[in-house]
Amino acid sequence: MARFTFISVTVLSAIAALTGAGAAPLRLRRAVTQTAANFKELAYADFQISSGTGGTAQAEANAVFVDPFAGTDLTTVSSDVLTAMNNMREAAESAETEDFNPQIDAASGAAADALQVGKIKNKVLKLTGEVQVLNIKIAQAKAKGSDTSDLESSLADEQTKLTTNIATDKSNAGKASQAVAGAAAAAAPASSSAAAKATSTKAAASKTTAAAAAPTANTDAVTQTAANFKELDYADFQISDGTGGDAEAQANAVFVDPFAGADLTTVSSDVLTAMNNMREAAESAETDDFNPQIAAASGAAADALQVGKIKNKVLKLTGEVQVLNIKIAQAKAKGSDTSDLESSLADEQTKLSTNIATDKASAGKPSQGVA
């Protein structure tokens, strides 16, 4: 009888331990070993680092985005891996704006403090991903002999933000850190984004091959609205063919005009994903196509490609600014803090204004696209 009692208590204790563990979310990432060769997109709940205590975010974020590439030649990292990293970074960003901010606003006392510590750890995670992606892009661009000044400028900006948040996390060393309740749900948008991007990339490759003989921007044939906005192949919305000077209006026609009169708080996550993928397609055109083609060209051909590159930068940045405007509108509607988003908006708007001015200075000059 005594033995039976002992076994019963042991079993009950084990059940209680498991039940208790359920209250504190486990980071399943510990069971996943990623390397540069097998790096896959993970659900946010499987790589988030906000549970536990503050002070260790740098090492934990490195374990997700940096350590898997230790000793790896970054020029060999595949586009699929870059897509996975980008989607994971975006999942962390979504967790910040859609989960941490409103949950912090709704909490108080120790609960709010723990969520704030968790938010900072999540920012370190997000920015570490961004910095590593930029490091890879820079390595690959340099290997092609392409200009990396824009990428390095972005890297400097993101590294500054990362350093600031690492310092904040270290000042929180030992403090309770809470992950967001919606962490597990963050996986779906990232996976959907990956699938959409893979489809887009494949379609864009086919489109580019077909259009190689006579590249033409087909945006005139596509009428987008906020209600029916869909992801387009780069060749169908690029604005670099023709002449310089009108990039602002052309880029607005792609990313801004479709939302004229629309309540930005109602823009769906699917539309945001489409806009992000189109913006990234323009960015890829710059680093993967414009830069090497400009480096290989000379004379009038190089000049026309340079004008086209600036128009493409206006396109890319207009997309980025509009996405940020939508995110800010939606965050404000929830009563969430928008200071980080507004800081990013100010940075991107400055870059956009600079490139619009450069494009206007090229008014009437031949402009060559790469799609």
Q: Which letter does DSSP use for residue 214 in this model?
A: S
- Name the band, by pLDDT with cuts 50, 70 and 90, for residue 181: low
pLDDT of residue 182: 52
pLDDT of residue 228: 86
- Name the band, by pLDDT with cuts 50, 70 and 90, for residue 32: low
Task: Check whether 16 has a pLDDT greater than 90.
Answer: no
Task: Check whether 222 has a pLDDT greater than 60.
Answer: no
pLDDT of residue 23: 36
Helices 79-94, 57-65: inter-axial angle, 10-degree rounding: 150
What is the tens place of the pLDDT at every residue in 53-65? 999 999 999 999 9
Task: Check whether 213 has a pLDDT greater than 60.
Answer: no
β-sheet bridge partners, residue 173: 54
Task: Check whether 208 has a pLDDT greater than 60.
Answer: no
For residues 118-131, give the mean pLDDT: 96
Task: Check whether 215 has a pLDDT greater than 60.
Answer: no
Task: Check whether 227 has a pLDDT greater than 80.
Answer: yes
> What span, in angstroms and rounded, lies between the C-alpha atoms of 205 and 140?
20
298 by Cβ neighbours in 10 Å (0-12 / 13-18 / 19+) ranks as: exposed
E-only strand ranges, 84-227: 176-177
pLDDT of residue 371: 76
For the chain, give the percent of residues with pLDDT over 90: 66
> Please, what is the average pLDDT of the chain?
82
| Cβ–Cβ < 8 Å for 42, 78 | no
What is the tens place of the pLDDT at every residue in 235-284? 999 999 999 999 999 999 999 999 998 999 999 999 999 999 999 999 99
Task: Report in angstroms the alpha-carbon separations of 275 from 53, 227, 289, 328.
Answer: 36, 13, 20, 15
- Name the band, by pLDDT with cuts 50, 70 and 90, for residue 97: confident
pLDDT of residue 100: 93
pLDDT of residue 183: 55
What is the tens place of the pLDDT at every residue in 334-360? 999 999 899 999 999 999 999 999 999
Q: Which of 53-62, 113-122, 179-188 has the lowest mean pLDDT?
A: 179-188
Taking the CA atoms of the chain, what radius of gyration do you get in angstroms? 23
Task: Check whether 321 has a pLDDT greater than 90.
Answer: yes
Closest CA to 76 of 143, 147, 150, 134: 143
